[in-house]
């Protein structure tokens, strides 16, 4: 039986070679087996028009070789120009990104970057020593050193808010020539970062936005080889965020004010950098770290504690119950929905029970969380880390969207007068994390203010104009005195869309 030979693909494309050295009067082309050769007639009076029966083989070879040489030359110049342009473009991009201040500071110097509206940050390099009694950090230099300098800084990330910044301890960064009175009690071979846990600490949004995230941005590149010096040190803060802090530093934090020993370093950073609300800008990070890298750090921070809690509770370690059997032969996927419930009389959902019942009827597995300041953070993380969707009314508790995995659903209920804050503080950052953000802006009839103000009152019809009266008015009217009664039929559309999305996503994952 004869074997069939594999047929080679044929190239049906025709190549066209054109050679023109000066202005021509006419053109003549020859069709070859795999190309088309064209020549120009320059009207010299001679019979130089090439015809198959007059075409000399040597002339034909000459034109072939000439065409090939020109083609190779053209391609080489083309690729060279493209490669050169790409290199030049990269160089232009690098030059377009300005180097941050203090990036090229010398040894035995103090340099402060005060260009940000949000925070100041200072760098000290050389023989650096702490002196908590005088609220100072000293850079010891030789007596011959000129330009003895002193800087002052409050290491907190609300620089533009004078009222809160006035409550932050101020540090003096001084260059001194005599070290006899400041001998080292503890010598460290790693850098230090100095920051404050004062200000708005106590509010979970500010604890992450003004503290934990800036600390990550400033220190993560040290790979835990860094010491933290904390102003306004709080034991409760260390208890609450100790798991996270331990992922950024393998050393015990130092209470700057109450530790009277002289700590010596070769490098100290006073203050922390902040990029934007609840996010990390990869363009400003070493190795392009993102908010997802921050979230992976949280995973590592809480993993051990969660496993311990799971053993204590007798629950399955780190695995959510996401399938509820409906019969002996089939299972129905029920996405886990966590509802962050508010208490305290402000921005509560008045028909919360009906909302929970509706979500269950749609097909969600619903869990209601009521976190407060005493709730262990890793317990909240455990629930949200393995949730598929989260619902909550605008407020500081929405910061917990950081605990959700990318690809999940975040539904923020937006009361009257809170549109800008809801979008800026939580909506945009959630999208950057990779969540499907579904805002639900309530109508006037869904607000408790509808029962307090006349129907035509600007409080109901034009919250933006009310907000222009100042933050105190906004806080008093819209944040402290407003509850929500959801139009369940209207809100149901959000839940149905979210459920369909999650079920389809799960189905696609199972099919892969």
DSSP assignments along 129-141, one per residue: EEEGGGTEEEEE-
Token reading at 238? 């260390």
Confidence of residue 69 (pLDDT cuts 50, 70, 90): low
Does 455 score more than 50 pLDDT? yes
Distance CA 275, CA 217 (A): 8
pTM here is 0.78
Q: Quick one: CA dihedral 276, 282, 285, 291, positive or negative?
A: positive
Greater model confidence, 18 or 213: 213
Predicted confidence (pLDDT) per residue in 319-342, tens digit: 444 433 333 335 789 999 999 999
Confidence of residue 73 (pLDDT cuts 50, 70, 90): low
Confidence of residue 308 (pLDDT cuts 50, 70, 90): confident
Predicted confidence (pLDDT) per residue in 90-145, tens digit: 444 444 445 778 888 888 899 999 999 999 999 999 999 999 999 999 999 866 55
Token reading at 48? 């130089």
Mean pLDDT of the chain: 84
Per-residue pLDDT averaged across 12-40, rounded?
Answer: 45
Q: Are the CB atoms for 269 and 355 separated by under 8 Å?
A: no
What pLDDT was estimated at residue 319?
44
What's the Cα-to-Cα distance from 110 to each of 128, 137, 177, 221, 471, rounded to whole Å?
10, 11, 14, 21, 38
Give the closest residue to 257 by CA, choosing from 238, 229, 237. Answer: 229
What pLDDT was estimated at residue 82?
46
Token reading at 268? 């100290």
Does 39 score more than 70 pLDDT? no
Greater model confidence, 32 or 250: 250
Q: Name the most confidently modeled range: 53-57, 66-70, 219-223.
A: 219-223
Question: Backbone dihedral region of 233: left (phi > 0), alpha (psi from -120 to 50 degrees) or beta?
Answer: beta
Greater model confidence, 179 or 51: 179
Token reading at 399? 């910061």
Q: Are the CB atoms for 196 and 169 separated by under 8 Å?
A: yes
Strands 365-369 and 336-340: parallel
Predicted confidence (pLDDT) per residue in 289-302, tens digit: 999 999 999 999 99
- Torsion angle in degrees (nearest 10) through CA of 158, 254, 216, 400: -70
Token reading at 388? 């598929």
Confidence of residue 40 (pLDDT cuts 50, 70, 90): very low
Confidence of residue 70 (pLDDT cuts 50, 70, 90): low
Per-residue pLDDT averaged across 37-54, rounded?
Answer: 43
Strands 171-176 and 186-187: unpaired
Predicted confidence (pLDDT) per residue in 349-383, tens digit: 999 999 999 999 999 999 999 988 788 999 999 99
What pLDDT was estimated at residue 288?
93
Predicted confidence (pLDDT) per residue in 264-285, tens digit: 999 999 999 999 999 999 999 9
Predicted confidence (pLDDT) per residue in 155-186, tens digit: 999 999 999 999 999 999 999 887 677 899 99
Distance CA 170, CA 155 (A): 8
């Amino acid at each position: 039986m004869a074997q069939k030979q594999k047929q080679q693909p044929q190239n049906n494309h025709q190549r066209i070679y054109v050679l023109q050295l000066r202005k021509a009067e006419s053109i003549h082309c020859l069709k070859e087996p795999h190309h088309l050769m064209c020549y120009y007639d320059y009207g010299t009076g001679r019979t130089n028009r090439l015809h198959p029966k007059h075409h000399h083989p040597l002339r034909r070879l000459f034109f072939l070789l000439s065409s090939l040489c020109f083609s190779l030359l053209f391609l080489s110049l083309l690729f060279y120009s493209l490669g050169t342009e790409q290199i030049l473009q990269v160089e232009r991009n690098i030059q377009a990104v300005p180097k941050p201040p203090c990036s090229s500071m010398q040894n035995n110097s103090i340099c402060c970057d005060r260009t940000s509206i949000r925070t100041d940050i200072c760098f000290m390099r050389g023989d650096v020593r702490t002196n908590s009694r005088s609220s100072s950090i000293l850079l010891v230099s030789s007596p011959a050193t000129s330009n003895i300098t002193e800087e002052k800084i409050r290491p907190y990330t609300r620089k533009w808010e004078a009222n809160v910044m006035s409550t932050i301890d101020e540090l003096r960064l001084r260059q001194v020539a005599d070290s006899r009175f400041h001998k080292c009690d503890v010598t460290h071979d790693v850098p230090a970062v100095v920051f404050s846990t004062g200000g708005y600490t106590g509010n979970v949004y500010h604890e992450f936005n003004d503290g934990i995230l800036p600390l990550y941005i400033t220190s993560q590149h040290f790979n835990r080889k860094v010491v933290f010096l904390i102003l306004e040190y709080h034991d409760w803060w260390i208890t609450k965020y100790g798991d996270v802090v331990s992922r950024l530093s393998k050393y015990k934090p130092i209470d700057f004010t109450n530790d009277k020993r002289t700590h010596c370093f070769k490098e100290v950073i006073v203050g922390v950098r902040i990029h934007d609300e609840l996010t990390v800008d990869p363009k400003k990070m070493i190795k392009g770290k993102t908010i997802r890298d921050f979230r992976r750090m949280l995973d590592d921070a809480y993993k051990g504690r969660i496993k311990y809690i799971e053993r204590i509770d007798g629950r399955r370690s780190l695995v959510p119950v996401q399938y509820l059997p409906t019969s002996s032969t089939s299972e129905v996927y029920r996405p886990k929905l966590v509802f962050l419930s508010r208490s305290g009389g402000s921005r509560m959902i008045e028909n919360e029970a009906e909302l929970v019942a509706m979500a269950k009827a749609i097909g969600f597995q619903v869990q209601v969380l009521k976190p407060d300041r005493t709730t262990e953070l890793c317990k909240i993380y455990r629930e949200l880390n393995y949730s598929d969707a989260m619902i909550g009314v605008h407020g500081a508790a929405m910061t917990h969207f950081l605990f959700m995995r990318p690809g999940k659903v975040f539904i923020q209920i937006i009361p009257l007068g809170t549109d800008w804050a809801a979008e800026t503080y939580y909506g945009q950052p959630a999208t950057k994390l990779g969540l499907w953000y579904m805002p639900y802006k309530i109508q006037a009839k869904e607000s408790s203010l509808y029962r307090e103000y006349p129907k035509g009152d600007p409080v109901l019809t034009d919250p933006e104009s009310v907000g222009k009266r100042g933050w105190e008015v906004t806080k008093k009217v819209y944040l402290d005195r407003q509850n929500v009664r959801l139009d369940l039929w209207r809100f149901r559309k959000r839940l149905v869309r979210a459920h369909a999305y999650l079920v389809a996503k799960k189905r696609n994952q199972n099919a892969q």
